[in-house]
Amino acid sequence: MTIALSIVTGGITFKRKVDSEVEKLLEQSKGLKPKVVTEEDIRGLPEPVQRYLRYSQAIGKEKTRTVRLKQKGTLRQREGQKWMPFEAEQYYTTEPPGFIWYATAKAGPLWVKARDMFYDGKGNMLIKLLSLIKIADASGPEMDQGALVRYLNEAMWFPTAYLSDYIKWEPLDSNSAKATMSVKGMTASATPYFNEKGEVTNFIAERYAMEGGKFALRTWSTPIQGYREINGVRIPNKGYAAWNLSSGEFKYIELEITDIEYDGLR
């Protein structure tokens, strides 16, 4: 009974911590005035980025300030490990950029709680077994860079963020462009790829990965496998993420967006 009570209490404590962090994150966006995106706003962007903004139906809508989405999928931490089903809820702000991802993964009869965060230019990953036993609490420059790259990648789910001052675009060719994001002195670049229809098809960046017990820059990609219109916005809703490690490609997460809500949060 004592162990069971500790697990329940640990779960409540973990959730309260995340709720408090979400409140703090969303507080930053209060008071921002809505602004409708026009064709004039996207005129200076590379042509494939303009195609995506039109395809996603961003033109004529208000620039996104806050986002809440739900995900489900499977994940694993290393090659050969069994895939674990997970469900997650994630919150974003665009001015300033930040996110909090809160997930529960099933590992056989056990479960793991995870919270990944990008706040005030800093990244932090907290993972606990049964909400009690700390598996990871990672922070530092490599986590900051990784969180920034993750945000830049996931902005495809709230496309008007592509118009933010902290993202600079450089045309490459008719189906790709280089995006460079700078926040609090940290800078990272990535290349989204687009098809003729305007869909994002892949996203490739150099991101810090843990390999052999230490951080190293590795190629990271997120191929898109499906699209869906949710609440009036066409977004990638299915895909996976993979590292190109010295041992080869390592696919570590497959996910699906099941719901997304823009603005009006809390």
Q: Which residue did the predictor score with more confidence, 136 or 237? A: 237
Question: Using one digit for the tens of pLDDT, what is the confidence trace for 207-219?
Answer: 999 888 889 999 9
Quote the pLDDT of residue 11.
74
Q: Which residue ranges form the domains of the chain, and what is each CATH number? A: 2-262 (2.50.20)
pTM for the model stands at: 0.95
Q: Is the pLDDT of residue 104 over 90?
A: yes
Which pair of tokens denotes residue 248? Answer: 């080869």
Q: Is the pLDDT of residue 248 over 60?
A: yes
Q: Are 97 and 117 in contact (CB under 8 A)?
A: no
Which pair of tokens denotes residue 63? Answer: 């620039």
Rounded-to-integer distance, Cα 243 and Cα 211, Å: 10
Quote the pLDDT of residue 136.
87
Quote the pLDDT of residue 10.
67
Q: Write b or e for each residue in 225-244: b if 16 or more Cβ atoms lie within 10 A of its Cβ, otherwise e.
A: eebeebeebbbbbebbbbbe
Quote the pLDDT of residue 266.
47
Q: Which residue did the predictor score with more confidence, 77 or 206? A: 206
